[in-house]
Amino acid sequence: MFERTYHPTHPAMMAGASNADLADHHRIDDLFRDGELTLVYSHGERFVIGAAVPGAGSLRLPDQTEPASAAGLPLLDRRELGVVQVGGRGTVTVDGVATMLDPCEALYVPMGSREVTFSGEGARFFLLSVPAHRAFPLRKVSAADAPPMRRGDTATGNARTIHQLILPHRCASAALCLGITILDPGSVWNTMPPHVHDRRSEVYLYFGLGSGDRVMHYMGRPDAMRHIVVGNEQVVLSPPWSVHMGVGTRAYGFVWAMAGENLDYEDMDVADVAGLR
């Protein structure tokens, strides 16, 4: 069911780790595959992370196969799901209710949903699921639902628009927080100033990059920074103890998703850029 399981990491594991080791533990490659629905599992907040690229057909969210006690139950039996469209227009059908998603729109799918399918040629669905303790209504959310947040400045290369999609003041959820950030043309830095969400893991999907473009995603403790080289539609797992920020060879977008015991978007410890090492 899960192509791979990612285990939690400790800050001490950064020391002496090769670039290949860092990427292996914190980067998810080859998630988007034509005609396939792919899922991986992360023990950080028990995230299930996936992608569905239906092409001319339709793809179904699989039932659980593990553990044995849950075999045959819907994946969302005790989970909620966020779906983000990062490709062309596509449709998500949840227990018979069809919702069309345009690029950069999202769908919140509640715990207890049994049949979830994806369709649409050109559609590229990014999937994020975490455990839930209660069900909230199925809801489509888009950038038009609320004024965007403007952050940064062109002079510092980090002018960007933040679209908060699944957050308590936008769309109710049990634990999942989700949004999209789009950098202005000419801007390349994201998440400035860098910060840490203690007790809350984060997942990044970078998109809108050309085949020859890359993002340097910085992580680690503020006094021991490392980087991971990331290409288009690759995912980074950011542990709760880690700073996160990045710089690209061109402007790009990224989906960010968090889960943990605190749903407050502003809950962060900002790192002093001058103190980074």
pLDDT, tens digit, 9 for 90 and up, residues 181-218: 999 999 999 988 887 877 788 999 999 999 999 999 99
**Least confident residue range of 92-101, 113-122, 166-175:** 166-175
| Ranges of CATH 2.60.120.520 domains, the chain | 5-10+32-141
- For residue 194, the model assigns a pLDDT of 84
**CATH fit for domain 5-10+32-141, picks 3.30.460.80, 2.40.40.20, 2.60.120.520, 3.40.50.300:** 2.60.120.520
- For residue 270, the model assigns a pLDDT of 78
pLDDT, tens digit, 9 for 90 and up, residues 142-165: 988 878 999 999 999 999 999 999
Average pLDDT over residues 25-31: 97
- For residue 266, the model assigns a pLDDT of 64
The share of the chain scoring above pLDDT 70, in percent, equals 98
Average pLDDT over residues 121-143: 97
- For residue 190, the model assigns a pLDDT of 93
Average pLDDT, the chain: 94
**Least confident residue range of 75-89, 116-130, 227-241, 251-265:** 251-265
Q: What is the CATH number of domain 143-275?
A: 2.60.120.10
What are the DSSP calls for the chain, one per residue? --S-EEPP--GGGGTT--HHHHHHHHEE-----TT-EEEEEETTTTEEEEEE--EEEEEEPPBP--SGGGTTSBTTSSEEEEEEE-SS-EEEEETTEEEEE-TT-EEEE-TT---EEEEETT--EEEEEEE-SS----EEE-GGGSPPEEES-GGGT--EEEEEEESTTTS--SS-EEEEEEEPTT--EEEEEEEE-TTEEEEEEEES--TT--EEEEEEETTEEEEEEE-TT-EEEE-TT--EEEEESS--EEEEEEEES---TT--EEPPGGG--
- For residue 146, the model assigns a pLDDT of 75
pLDDT, tens digit, 9 for 90 and up, residues 50-99: 999 999 999 999 999 988 999 999 999 999 999 999 999 999 999 999 99
| Ranges of CATH 2.60.120.10 domains, the chain | 143-275
- For residue 54, the model assigns a pLDDT of 99
